[in-house]
Amino acid sequence: MPMERRRFLKSATALGLLGAAPPSLAATRSGDALDAVLAEIARAPQRLRSSSLLFRETDAALPDLSFEASLQAADEARAQIARLTPLRSADLDGDRRDTLEAVIWDLEGGVESQRYYWLDSPLSADGSALSIATGRLAAAPLRTAAARDNYLSMLAGFPAYIDQILEKVRGQQSRNIIAHRETVTAVLLQMDTLLASPTATFIPAPARLAHLPEPEAARFTAQAGRLLADGIMPRLRRLGAYLRDDYLPGTGETVGLWRQPDGDDFYRFLIRFNVTLDIDPEDAHRRALDTVAEAERDMAELRRRIGFNGSAEAFHHTLETDARWKSTTTQEVAARFEAGLAGFDPHFSRFFETRPTTPYSAAPQPPEYNDIMVNGRYQWPTDEDPQGTYLFNGGDLDTTTWFWSTPLIHHELVPGHHLQFDRVRDSRTLPPFRKSLVMSGHTEGWAEYGRSLVVEAGVYDDDPMARYADRLMDRRMAMMTVADTGMHARRWSLDEAVSYFSTNAITIPSLQRRAMLGIATEYPGFLLCYWAGGAEFARLRRATAARAGPGFDLRRFHEVILSGGVLSFPVLEARLNRHFPGVA
C-alpha cells in the first residue's frame, strides 16, 4: 500500500472528509476506508459460529467458541457496519461496490447469528466442532518451519477449544436445548475412535514429514506427542465422560428447530444465511413439491422413450441392480466421470469465454470419510495441490450405482464447482476477502445451474438414460428441500423424512438415514441452496436477457458472474444490472 494511503488510514476523520472532497479523491478515500475494515476482518479471529466454513484456510487458528467471544465479535461487526454504511453513497467503482455490499452482508449475518448462539450446536453426526478441527489438522501444511510451528500452536490450543465445546453443550443443556440422541451417539463413536488411537489424528504420519531430516522429524513428533498427552487427552476424556454419563440419558428422538426456543426464527435466518435469499419455509416446501412432481412427469415420459413399461419403482430397482451401472474398482468409477466430462467439452466455448487454468479430475475420498460424506465433495485447488478434485465415495461398490455419474460430475467439476473456484483462485482483481467468501446458495446454485447448461447444449438429446439421470438428480435436490423444510417447519419426524427421501433412487440406501440426520441436526436450511440457488441463477438469466434485449450475450453474462467471485444473490443481481443496463 502506498505511504499516503497508509497515512490516510490512520486519520480519525477519514469518513468525515468524504463529503467535501472532489469526487475522485472521495472515491480514493472511500476505497481506503473500505480497505481498512477489510484489513481488520482479515486480522480478527472467526468466532461467531461453529461452522465448517471457519476452517477453509488450513493455517487459520482454531476459533474461539465462547459466548463472550461471540458478543465481542458481534460488537466489532456492528462497529464495522457503522463505518461502512456511509460508503454506500460514495463514488465507488463497480467492483469495490460489490466488495462493500459483500462485506456488509457478511457482517450483518454475523451479528444476527450471535442472537442464536445457544441454538448453534457444536455436536453433529458428521461435522461436529471437534471433527471439523481434527480434519483441519489432517489438511494443515507442514512443508515449512513456520507451518510446523503453526501446527504445534493448534495442538496447544486444542485443550481450550475442547473446554469451550463442553462449556457450550452444558450451557445448551441448562437451557433445555438438547441434541438428538443419534447425533450424540455418533459423536461418542467419533470420540471413542479418537481415544483409542489418538496419534493417528493428532500426530502427523511419517509420510507427511518425509521431507525433513530424521532428527528434525523426531523432535517435531515428540513435541506434538507431549501436547497430546499432557493437554488434549485429559480434555477429550472429560468431554466424552460428560456426554456419555450426563448428557446422553437426557436426549430424545424428536428433531427439528421448531422445538427449540426461537427455533422458527433461527431456521428462517439459516435459510437466508445459506441461500442468501429471504425464503418462506412453507412456500419453499410447496414449490419444491411442485418441482418433484414436474420431474416425475418428465421421468415417466423418458421411461416410455427408453422402452420401459413398468412402474417408476421397478425402473429405479433396475438402476440400483443392473451390472452396467456398477463398478468394481474406484479406477472404473473415475473413468465414468472422465467420460461424462468429455461430453460437454466440445460445447464449452458456446457458453464461456475462459477455460479453467488448473486441471481437474475425480478420485476416491479417504476411506475414513465414506460413512460420513454420503456423496463425496469437491476439493478446490490450493498452492500445495493446484488441482480441483471431486472426491467421490468409493466405499460400498457392491451396492453403489453410478448411472448418475454424468450429471453429478458436471455439478462437481465443469461447468460447476471447479469452473467457479478456478476463476476465484486465479483472479487478479478480487481482494482476499472476496476470494475467501463462501456463500452456499451461490456456489451450490451455480453448480446446479451449470448442470442445466449441459442439457441446453444438447449433450443428452440422443441419450434418454443420461437425461433421466439428470432429471432424477433435479428431483433429488427438490426432495432435499422438502425434507429439510418438513423436519424444521412442518414437524416431520426423522423417520418420516427418511421414508420420504428413500425414494430418491440416488443416495446409497445404507446412508439415507445418515443424510437425513445431517439435515435434521447439522445443517438446517443448507440443502435449500441446491434447489433454490439453481432456480435463482435461472431467474437472473431470464431477467437479464429480458432487460438486455436481442443483444443479450450469454457468454458475457456468465463472465460477469464468474469474474465477480462468490456473492450474495442481491449483490450479484445489482452487479448484473450494472453490466447489462437494458435497452434504451
- Whether residue 551 lies inside any domain: the answer is no
Same domain, 246 and 276: no
Domain ranges, residue 304: 266-532
pLDDT at 36: 84
The helix (run of H) or strand (run of E) holding residue 485 is helix 464-489
Nearest-angstrom CA–CA distance, 350 and 353: 8
Beta-bridge partner residues of 391:
363, 377
Same domain, 277 and 184: no
- Note the maximum CA span of the chain: 76
Same domain, 303 and 158: no
- Whether residue 571 lies inside any domain: the answer is no
Torsional class of 402: left (φ above 0), alpha (ψ -120 to 50), beta (otherwise): alpha
**Overall domain count for the chain:** 3
- Whether residue 557 lies inside any domain: the answer is no
Residue 501 identity: F
pLDDT truncated to tens, each residue of the chain (584 aa)?
A: 333 322 222 222 223 323 333 445 555 677 788 888 888 877 765 544 433 333 345 556 788 999 999 999 999 999 999 999 999 999 899 999 999 999 999 999 999 999 999 999 999 887 788 988 888 888 788 999 999 999 999 999 999 999 999 999 999 999 999 999 999 999 999 899 999 999 999 999 999 999 999 999 999 999 999 999 999 999 999 999 999 999 999 999 999 999 999 999 999 999 999 999 999 999 999 999 999 999 999 999 999 999 999 999 999 999 989 999 999 999 999 999 999 999 999 999 999 999 999 999 999 988 877 766 667 889 888 777 889 999 998 888 888 889 999 999 999 999 999 999 999 999 999 998 898 888 999 999 999 999 999 999 999 999 999 999 999 999 999 999 999 999 999 999 999 999 999 988 887 777 788 888 888 888 899 999 999 999 999 999 999 999 999 999 999 999 999 999 999 999 999 999 999 997 54
- Whether residue 567 lies inside any domain: the answer is no
Same domain, 215 and 359: no
Same domain, 389 and 513: yes
Nearest-angstrom CA–CA distance, 292 and 298: 10
Beta-bridge partner residues of 379:
389
- Whether residue 50 lies inside any domain: the answer is no
How far is residue 449 from each of residues 142, 213, 455, 533, measured CA to CA in Å? 37, 49, 10, 8
Q: Cα torsion at 66, 114, 186, 369 (round to 10°)? A: -100
For residue 227, with 0-12 CB atoms within 10 Å meaning exposed, 13-18 middle and 19 or more buried, which class applies?
buried
Same domain, 309 and 434: yes
Task: For residue 492, give the 3-state DSSP assignment.
Answer: coil
Q: Which DSSP string do the residues of 99-140 spell out, in sequence order?
A: HHHHHHHHHHHHHHHHHTGGGS-S--TTT-HHHHHHHHHHH-
Same domain, 93 and 160: no
List of long-range contacts for 150-153, beta carbons under 8 Å, 24+ apart: 150/59, 151/204, 151/224, 152/220, 152/223, 152/224, 152/227, 153/61
Convert 380-407 to b/e letters by CB count within 10 Å (16 or more is b): bbeeeeeebbbbbbbbebeebbbbbbbb
Q: What are the phi and psi torsion angles at 527 (to 5°)?
A: -75, -5
Same domain, 154 and 213: yes
Beta-bridge partner residues of 361:
389
pLDDT at 26: 59
For cell 420431474, name the residue: 295
pLDDT at 386: 85
Same domain, 281 and 192: no
Convert 254-266 to b/e letters by CB count within 10 Å (16 or more is b): ebbbbebeebeeb
Nearest-angstrom CA–CA distance, 250 and 253: 11
- Whether residue 58 lies inside any domain: the answer is no
Last residue of a domain, one of 253, 276, 306: 253
Same domain, 98 and 214: no
Same domain, 242 and 346: no
Nearest-angstrom CA–CA distance, 517 and 497: 9
Cell numbers representing residue 79 in the block: 462497529
Last residue of a domain, one of 119, 153, 181: 119
Query: Given CA atoms 450, 452, 457, 461 in this order, what sign does their dihedral have?
Result: positive
- Whether residue 447 lies inside any domain: the answer is yes
- Whether residue 563 lies inside any domain: the answer is no
Same domain, 284 and 215: no
Q: Which DSSP string do the residues of 281-303 spell out, in sequence order?
A: HHHHHHHHHHHHHHHHHHHHHHH
pLDDT at 512: 83
Of 467, 477, 459, residue with least CA distance to 538: 477
Last residue of a domain, one of 220, 253, 286: 253
Answer for the pair 333, 364: CB distance below 8 angstroms, yes or no: yes
